[in-house]
Structure 1
Amino acid sequence: MAAGLCVRHAGLVQDPTSSPTALAAALRETGYLADDGLATAAFLAMRMNRPLFCEGEPGTGKTALAQALAQVLGAELIRLQCHEGIDASQALYDWDFPRQLLHLRSLEASAAASGEKLDAEAVEASLYDQRFLLARPILRALRTSPSVLLVDEIDRADDEFEAFLLEVLTEHAVTIPELGEVKAETPPVVVLTSNRTREVHDALKRRCLYLWLDHPDLAREIEILRSRIPGIPERLATEVATAVRKIRQTELLKPPGVAESLDWARALQLVGARHLDIESAAATLGAVLKYREDADRVRAQLDTLLAS
């Protein structure tokens, strides 16, 4: 996997899959700041060829980790967004029925014009050709090398889908009755995420390496802001990270994640704020809070939240 892939860091050429330290350095170059525990878990998942199960509150960087790994590995990121009622066909493959129907009508028209009789077996074989196959995310990941398969919000899917996913992740292969087995030459790097809206079954977790992601501490969040928003004043980055940390401790419907911290800092820069005060904070709260009730609650406490 990703053989020969190297990145340049601190004047040295390193293989990002050679050690957790090399992987952390490579992730940092994409703008993703990984601590030792995260870098080690991701490194082991790749070297042991095991899915990485990332659990934590929304906005803690679970999805961004998969995106950063794809960049580091020079791999295609293939995302499967889970939802209630998702089934295997939505994740695996389907047949392009309208195109198959057009193909069948074309065959019938050609046969009628020539006076020949259609061979039923040949017609059926032509209908289930690769050109009519609609590859969904899992099949695409098995057929693409290298790839990173992101199974996002697995906790939104049901038990049956979990069982199907467990089988696919174990075998790295699927069987299409009309075409046969499709097996990955190089298994994809798999990242599963969960916001813990429900408990995922132990059978799936046992197949994975587990990683809990929490919101970053103050120093790391400041570092993330300065890394992802070049040129942001140090004072503004510190004030935004500090304010967001206090806001998360308030009872909210949706506490802000790192993505909201970044949006807020960018919004403040766009309105010309050099530091965070009550006026600029109130004007840009829509970048960091997504519910009216949350915005009202925070707006009423801005003087306290912004106090140093």
Structure 2
Amino acid sequence: MADAPPAAESITGPDEFARRLDEHDYLADDGAATACFLAARMARPLFLEGDAGVGKTELAKALAAALGAPLIRLQCYEGIDAAQALYDWDYPRQLLHLRAAQAAGAGTDAERLESGLYDRRFLLARPLLRALEAGAAGPCVLLVDEIDRADDEFEAFLLEFLSDFAISIPELGTVRTDTPPVTVLTSNRTREVHDALKRRCLYHWMPNPGFDREVAIIRRRLPDAADRLVHQVAAAGQRLRDPADDGLDLVKPPGVAETIDWTAALIALGARQLDPDSAARSLGALIKHREDHDAVRARLRTLLDGHDRAPAG
């Protein structure tokens, strides 16, 4: 097992990790703080799974800030392959180099000219190679975001990379790192990620926050928001995530990221409390599917009346 990054060694436990995350405006519950602490201390990748908008990516950003380490992000998408994650050759620069060498009369030595084309200066480092090279200066945090969007072949390749933390470049040799990155993988669970990759990682399910924690998160992100507005928005968010409470079965219930956006939109409209008119005008910040939008608008007054859990005044 690789040694823990130096910054992680100075953190004594999950409680201190939670305080470090709090200093960087991330209110972690005990489960998230413990998962981050163990991943950093044990030098194991951390697999964060949960609904979109619960704060997985933001946790990785806060983790990097708490460790005082640079964040390198690999955004996954359908069709991503190893070359797009590892490295590529800068063909336009290689061609310019070739023409310049020929103009200077160096074109007669073909072997020397060819070897000069495959120099490190012509290599475009993608996120995984950048994470390895950053290890020479100290730890970094590698965020592999939305791994569930990639296909099985890329997932298998990533498993191999996480096992060795090394990259073989045929023209240059093998690149290894003195300090493996603290690695965070996120998944919105649009498909099941294979067990082999999960076994390589520590696992943490990121739930939607409870009411009190959602209030605290919105307050932290938007300190100028009125208390009544924050409580009303958080209460509405809680109800929309619970079909048993309001009878709505939404395609995509809003996460805390959306309730933060909704609060910001309401503030921009000058609202200090949530009413049907301001809610309807700003609903596009909260609901992102047409079917959901129509369903919520139709029951907006019922959703808001008598369920704001807000303090008086």
TM over 0.5: yes
Structure 1 residues not aligned, in runs of 5+: 7-14
Q: Does 1:91 align with 2:81?
A: no
Identity of aligned residues (%): 62
Q: Which of 41, 44, 50 matches 2:44?
A: 50
Number of aligned positions between the proteins: 295
Instruction: Please state whether the residue corresponding to 1:254 is helix, strand or coil.
Output: coil
Q: Which of 181, 184, 191 matches 1:188?
A: 181
Structure 1 residue runs of 4+, over 2 Å off?
1-6
Deviation sequence 1:131-177 (CA, Å, 0-9, x none): 10000000001111331111111111111111111111111111111
Aligned to 1:278: 276
Aligned to 1:80: 74
Return the alpha-carbon distance in structure 1 between the equivalents of residues 8 and 13 of structure 2: 13
Return the alpha-carbon distance in structure 2 between the equivalents of residues 101 and 109 of structure 1: 12
Return the alpha-carbon distance in structure 2 between the equivalents of residues 201 and 4 of structure 1: 31
Q: Which of 261, 264, 273 matches 1:263?
A: 261
Decide whether aligned partners of structure 1 residues 275 and 122 sit closer, same or farther in structure 2, where only a CA change above 3 A counts: same
Which residue type is aligned with residue 41 of structure 2?
R
Q: Which of 247, 251, 254 matches 2:252?
A: 254
Instruction: Please state whether the residue corresponding to 2:142 is helix, strand or coil.
Output: strand
Question: 1:224 Cα deviation (Å)?
Answer: 0.3
Aligned to 2:207: 214
**Quick check: 2:74–2:142 contact (8 Å CA) kept in 1?**
yes
Aligned to 2:119: 129
Decide whether aligned partners of structure 1 residues 158 and 5 sit closer, same or farther in structure 2, where only a CA change above 3 A counts: closer
Return the alpha-carbon distance in structure 2 between the equivalents of residues 167 and 292 of structure 1: 41
Aligned to 2:23: 29
Question: 1:292 Cα deviation (Å)?
Answer: 2.1
Aligned to 1:157: 150
Decide whether aligned partners of structure 1 residues 108 and 20 sit closer, same or farther in structure 2, where only a CA change above 3 A counts: same
Which residue type is aligned with residue 206 of structure 1?
R
Scaled by the length of structure 1, the TM-score of the pair is 0.92
Q: Which of 296, 299, 313 matches 1:298?
A: 296
Return the alpha-carbon distance in structure 1 between the equivalents of residues 189 and 120 of structure 2: 38
Deviation sequence 1:236-288 (CA, Å, 0-9, x none): 11100001111223322221111111111111111111111111101110111
Aligned to 2:310: none
Aligned to 2:6: 3
Return the alpha-carbon distance in structure 2 between the equivalents of residues 220 and 140 of structure 1: 36
Which residue type is aligned with residue 157 of structure 2?
F
1:160-171 matched pairs, under 5 angstroms: 160-171=153-164
Which residue type is aligned with residue 19 of structure 1?
G
Q: Does 1:109 align with 2:103?
A: yes
Return the alpha-carbon distance in structure 2 between the equivalents of residues 196 and 266 of structure 1: 28
Scaled by the length of structure 2, the TM-score of the pair is 0.91
Aligned to 1:227: 220
Which residue type is aligned with residue 256 of structure 1?
P
Decide whether aligned partners of structure 1 residues 117 and 97 sit closer, same or farther in structure 2, where only a CA change above 3 A counts: closer
Structure 2 residues not aligned, in runs of 5+: 243-247, 308-313
